[in-house]
């Protein structure tokens, strides 16, 4: 039996680069790009607390992801952004391939994944993308790339946008003991 369908998120979240998120409180203007690696690692550690909860595989509502499903998405966000950073640092003005996060969740059966496995993979992918941020210096932060919808990012703005995604999802699961604070 398959789990109930999750409504796809079709919002354009790029506005979080211009103003604080009223939900999770994330403020991109306060994030120094040189700290992105550390902040991504810290966020990944906090996900381990969430995934250790006995409620990690429980959906708060039938059409809302469980903490494990959110964590699997965060793992995949790290994978996608690591690839985008690599493109931006290796090519002039690349266009990122489209990524359908909702299709990925269904195809990879996030609803059936085990918290321990997701936690280990999330840490691994967070480390990989954090190391990419750690390696960026000087003018490389201003290299740019284009999302498939035409949104333009620099490495610095992409990193801030990426960080909001993982911080916001930790806020989404704040109901799980130990995850009340989702801030950067």
Q: Two tokens at 82?
A: 């690591």
The answer to whether 39 and 161 are in contact (CB under 8 A) is: no
Burial 74-91 (b: 16+ CB within 10 A, else e): bbbbbbbbbbbbebbeee
pLDDT for res 99: 81
CA distance 43 to 30: 16
Which CATH superfamily, name and number, covers 38-172? dinb family like domain (1.20.120.450)
From the list 1, 120, 4, the residue with the least C-alpha distance to 62 is 4
Average pLDDT taken over every residue of the chain: 89
Q: What are phi and psi of 52, to 5 degrees?
A: -80, -10
CA distance 59 to 92: 42
Distances (CA, A) of 46 to 80, 84, 119, 174: 20, 24, 10, 11
Question: pLDDT tens-digit profile of 10-31?
Answer: 566 677 788 999 999 999 999 9
In the predicted model, is pLDDT for residue 46 greater than 60?
A: yes
Q: What are phi and psi of 75, to 5 degrees?
A: -55, -45
In the predicted model, is pLDDT for residue 178 greater than 60?
A: no
pLDDT for res 16: 77
pTM: 0.89
CA distance 72 to 75: 5
The answer to whether 69 and 172 are in contact (CB under 8 A) is: no
């Amino acid at each position: 039996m398959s789990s109930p369908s999750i409504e796809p998120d079709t919002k354009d979240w790029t506005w979080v680069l211009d103003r604080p998120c009223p939900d999770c409180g994330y403020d991109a203007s306060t994030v120094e790009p040189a700290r992105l690696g550390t902040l991504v690692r810290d966020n990944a550690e906090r996900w381990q607390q969430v995934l250790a909860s006995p409620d990690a595989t429980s959906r708060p509502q039938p059409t809302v992801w469980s903490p494990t499903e959110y964590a699997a998405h965060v793992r995949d966000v790290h994978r996608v952004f690591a690839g985008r950073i690599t493109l931006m640092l290796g090519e002039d003005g690349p266009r990122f391939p489209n990524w359908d996060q909702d299709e990925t969740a269904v195809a990879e059966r996030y609803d059936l994944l085990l918290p321990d496995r997701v936690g280990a993979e999330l840490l691994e992918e967070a480390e990989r993308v954090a190391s990419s941020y750690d390696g960026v210096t000087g003018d490389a932060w201003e290299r740019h790339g284009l999302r498939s919808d035409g949104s333009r990012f620099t490495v610095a703005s992409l990193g801030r946008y990426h960080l909001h995604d993982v911080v916001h999802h930790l806020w989404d699961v704040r109901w799980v003991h130990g995850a009340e604070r989702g801030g950067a």
